[in-house]
Each structure stands twice: as C-alpha cells, then as structure tokens.
Amino acid sequence: MRNRNILALTLAAAATLAAVPAALPAAAATAAHPTNSRATGGDCPQLSKKLEWYGNNRAKLQRTIDERGTCANPDLGHGRNKRPVAAFDWDNTITKNDVTDATIAWSLRHDKILRPKSWKSTSKWMTDEADRALTEACGTKVPVGKPLPTSRNAACADEIFEVREDGKTMSGAAAFAGEWDHRHTVPQYAWVPQLFAGHTVPELRSYAAKARKEALAAPIGATQTVGTHEIPGYVRYYDQQRDLIRTLKKAGFDVYIVSAGSEPVAEVWSKSVGVDREHTVAIRSVLDRKGRITTWNQGCGGVPVNKGEAIPYIDGKRCWINQEIFKIKGKKAWDKQDFGHRIALGGGDADTDVTFVGDATGAHLVVNRNKSEFMCRAYDNADGRWVVNPMFIEPLPRKEGTYPCSTAAYNEHDGSKGPVLREDGSVVPDQQDSAY
C-alpha cells in the first residue's frame, strides 16, 4: 500500500466497442473476445437503462464491462487473475465544472491564501511581471505566512485567479516563462497546490469540503464572483459516471481517479463515488516536518522531488498511472506499456487526458468539450473503441468548422502545435464534430 501521506520532506532534503481489427496483436484479441463469457445481461453487472447516454454509448461501454469483468472472468482478483483497471480524470469528466476552481474560489472568498515570502518563490517559472502584479495587488502589510484579505481585496483575488486560470496577469502579461515539457506539466496547474503552501493537508481538505457543500447546493447554472471574475458557482456529479463507476466496481474492476488537480482536493470529491484515497492520484505536494504543504512536488518517471515538472498532465498522466498502478519505475513509466500493463477503460474530457485514455485497451470514453487533440483522436477512432459523449449537463453546441488535426491540434513538447499522428505515422485528417 503506497504512502497516502504526501511525502514529508523539508525543503533542504528536496535538493471493446467494435470488432477487434485484424491488425491487433493476438493477446489483445484474446482478451477482447474471451471464450468463457457468460450470456450478456444475466449475471453481468449492468449499466442503468434509466440514465441517458448518447447514441449507443451505453452498449459500447457495457461490452467492455462484460468482456473484461467478472462476467467473462469470474475468478478476477484471485491468483494471477489480476483485476482490470479503469481510470478517469475528475474535473468535467466525473463532475460538471471544476472542483479545483471551486476550492480556490471558496478560499479566496474566505481569506485562506497565506502571503508568501515572495510570489516569485511559489513557482520556478513565474515572471517578474507576475511577481510585481501580485505584490502590488496583494500588498506587503500582511506578515509572511498570514492570510491575505482576498475577500475584501478584489484586486488581489483577481490577480491570483487570473494567474491560475489563464497563466496571465490582469494586464495581460505572461505569468510564467522559461522552459518546461508541455506534455508533462503546465505551470498554472502546478501552481494550485503551491498556492496553498503553509497549510496542512487536513486544512486544505476542509476547504475543499466546504467548497463542495456550497457548490452542490447551488442551483445548476449558478455563478459566483471572485474579484471581478464571474465563474460557475455550482458543481454536479454526473449520474451516468457515478453509475459507470459503480458498475465497473461490481464487475471486478479497480477504479482510479487521475487528476491534474491537488490531491487533497480530489480526494474529498472522489470519496462520494466510492473511490478512496488509495485510488486517487493527483499532484502530490511535499510536506515540511510540521506537515505543511510546500511549493515542492513528488516526481514521476525518474523525475525526483521537483517544482512541478512532472504532474499528471497529458503524458504525465500515463506516467503516474504506470508508476502508481502498474508499479513501473524510472523513465519507462513515460512509455506506452504492453497490453497487460495498461488500463482497460479510460475516461476524460480534455487534451490533458488524451494519452492515458488512448492507452486503454477496451474503451476510450470522451466527454466532448471541444478540445482539439483529444477530439481528433476520438473521431478518428483508429481502433474502433472510442466512445464520444456530449457533456451530460449543459452540453456544448456543435463546434463550427473542423478540428485542425492534420496541421495544428497536437500539443508538442516545446509548446508548439503540430499534426496528430497515428501509431503508424500517418496523419489524422481534420475531423468534424458529430457528438454534441
């Protein structure tokens, strides 16, 4: 059992959805079409028919559950019969709206952000412009380590939220600069747990719990104001996703949440869908000797304790899944693994999920939020196993035009855009939005 307390260190110490194509390997074909499957429906845990899915998506997901779960493999979990794994992103995949934003908004409205010694020290990529904007807006009168009065200081709340949301200052200057692998991290995501430096994990969990209670009580469509930012004021669990997780667990799957948010926040929310802390993976902060969150993070794939270089983001989600679930250590954790060391079902909503969802061997569930790289993969449907569903609450309208798959949808490691390529090197053609 892995250590559920985020690694306590001092800063000094930190120095199947359609027929299996003929081209699939024999092992994959065997797993996708088990010979000892019982008749579908009788003893197989079933997705609720009372909950609406787009098109025939329920049937596609049910097929993977039947073929990979206890219906076909009644001895799952015994001896060498390892449980199949399902992994899901959290924000806008299991819930409508972002629980990290909800937690930050609640914290800003209740003066829970502590003044850092310097804003620039909170992120290795923070620019002088952002450091200056935050310092000017939030002031220096509050002692270091004490709460900033963000509930009354709209300018300070604005700057903090703008940096988190768009990686910019309120004047439009870049908040982060320098070099980082754009498929391993994004500074404004890594900055969220760094923003809570000085708090303990139980404190952060309590803020997330209070934000959760407030967001679930707010009516659908409600908004809230942070500084001068108007953002969603409500969050809802998707009933279809709750049912999917419940059914997967009944069918013998191990179900994980893999989020690019702060782990204590994700843990508060995942508990209510039956996913415990042991099965919740997100950004893990390093703690000091007093148990307080620092601006350092745990690493993945051979990356040691760091300032945010290897978070669960795009290829980083694959790394964390390989490392934490399949126990693959070192640089190999960044690589796509063999059939037996990959998840059976993956679900997400954005480009940050494209790699791990694409690794799934049984079904790739995509909640359509019009994110180009992800939707290019989904609509190309190279292996016939992609399942695209509009958002279950307030779905987006059809995207105008096409996704630029052939030219500028792939997120390159250096931050530029390029064509989306299939495994054989061929270019994915531009795709039209068809599930909306």
Enumerate residues 6+ apart whose C-beta is below 8 A from 332: 301, 322
Collapse the DSSP code of 396 into the 3-class scheme (helix H, G, I; strand E, B; otherwise coil) and give the result.
coil
Q: Where are the alpha helices (DSSP H) in 218-314?
A: 239-250, 263-270
| Predicted pLDDT at 75 | 85
Residue in 64, 71, 68, 157 with CA at minimum distance from that of residue 111: 157
Residue whose structure tokens are 């000091």: 288
Alpha carbon separation from 177 to 123, 166, 186, 401, 416 (Å, rounded): 10, 13, 11, 32, 14
- Around Cβ 177, how many Cβ atoms within 10 Å? 15
Closest CA to 108 of 144, 141, 156: 156
Cα–Cα distance, 29 to 49 (Å, whole number): 28
User: What CA dihedral angle connects 258, 277, 94 and 45, to 10 degrees?
Assistant: 110
Identify the three-state secondary structure at position 397: coil
Amino acid identity, residue 354?
V
For residue 167, what pLDDT is reported?
97
State the greatest distance between any 2 C-alpha atoms of the chain, in Å, as a whole number.
71
Residue 141 token pair: 């009168």
pTM of this prediction? 0.90
Sign of CA dihedral 244, 245, 251, 254: positive
| Burial category of 6 from C-beta neighbours within 10 Å (exposed 0-12, middle 13-18, buried 19 and up) | buried
Taking the C-alpha atoms of residue 150 and residue 148, their distance in angstroms, rounded to an integer, is 6
Distances in Å between the Cα of 431 and the Cα atoms of 11, 154, 196 are 47, 42, 40
Distance from CA of residue 192 to its chain's centroid? 14
Residue at 89: amino acid letter: D
* Exposure of 359 in the CB half-sphere (CA atoms within 13 A): 27
- Predicted local confidence at residue 40, as pLDDT: 43
* CB within 8 Å of 353: residues ≥ 6 apart: 89, 93, 317, 346, 347, 374
The answer to whether 343 and 359 have CB atoms below 8 angstroms apart is yes
Instruction: Report the distance separating Cα 12 and Cα 160, nearest Å.
Output: 27
Q: What is the mean pLDDT of each run of 10 residues along the chain (436 residues)?
A: 42 38 36 41 84 98 96 80 94 98 98 98 98 98 98 98 97 98 98 98 98 98 97 98 98 98 98 98 98 98 98 98 98 97 98 98 98 98 98 97 98 98 97 97
- In this prediction, residue 41 carries a pLDDT of 44
Domains and CATH numbers, the chain: 12-96+238-399 (3.40.50.1000), 99-232 (no CATH)
Distance CA 223, CA 18 (A): 41
